[in-house]
Amino acid sequence: IERTFSIVKPDAIKRQLFGQIEATIESKGLKIIAGKFLQLSQEQAEGFYAEHEGREFYAPLVEYMTSGPVFVQILEGENAITAYRELMGTTNPETAAEGTIRKLFAVSMRENSVHGSDSQESATREIEYFFQPSEIC
Ligand code: ATP
Ligand code: MG
């Protein structure tokens, strides 16, 4: 059993897609074991995406991620990291497979509705970045 970290991003919260996204996640058998709404500060968003510092999309990404509330959550299941990456679809919604969250809901490469950890190391780091052990069920 594995854990991954997920964010429902501002574009999806603004368009009231939160419930549909959570239903899609649960329908795939992933269990939501922690979650909360947050308004990210500039520092929180910069730290979270530090690996992308220096890329041309970094500053607009931080601006977008702080443009409204997000929902941060921990998902648990068999191969949760890969299973959830597959459920999200590719970064660019135009190339995402049918039925994926990004194909269904994303607006653009930047405003792509969801985040999911890309490795076990990222999952551990990202979970610890946002959650105390007492917040995990
Ligand atoms: P995430 O890390 O959010 O799950 P990802 O792993 O598919 O997405 P990354 O390459 O880690 O994609 O990029 C992080 C985020 O930065 C993307 O989800 C997207 O919001 C934004 N982003 C990435 N590349 C671009 C780009 N070329 N133009 C605009 N935004 C981008
Ligand atoms: Mg990534």
102 in contact with ligand 1, CB cutoff 6 A = no
61 in contact with ligand 1, CB cutoff 6 A = yes
Q: 76-99: per-residue pLDDT in tens? A: 999 999 999 999 999 999 999 999
Nearest Cα residue to 83 out of 100, 102, 103: 100
Percent of the chain with pLDDT over 70: 100
**Domain residue limits, the chain:** 2-37+71-131
Residue 76: strand pairing partners: 3, 31
- What pLDDT sits at residue 83? 98
Among the bound ligands, name the one nearest to the CA of residue 52: 1
- What pLDDT sits at residue 59? 98
Question: Under CATH, what is the fold of the domain 2-37+71-131?
Answer: Alpha-Beta Plaits (3.30.70)
57 in contact with ligand 1, CB cutoff 6 A = yes
CA distance 83 to 102: 14
Classify 71 as helix, strand or coil: strand
| Token couple for 61 | 């990404």
- What pLDDT sits at residue 39? 98
Note if 52 is an active site residue.
no
Nearest Cα residue to 11 out of 69, 60, 51, 53: 69
Q: Is the ipTM of this complex over 0.90?
A: yes
Q: How confident is the model at residue 103 (pLDDT cuts 50, 70, 90)?
A: very high
Nearest Cα residue to 134 out of 36, 30, 41, 22: 36
> Going by C-beta distance under 8 Å and a sequence separation of 6 or more, which residues neighbour residue 105?
12, 15, 17, 20, 21, 113
Q: How confident is the model at residue 18 (pLDDT cuts 50, 70, 90)?
A: very high
| Active-site hit among 6, 73, 115, 116 | 115
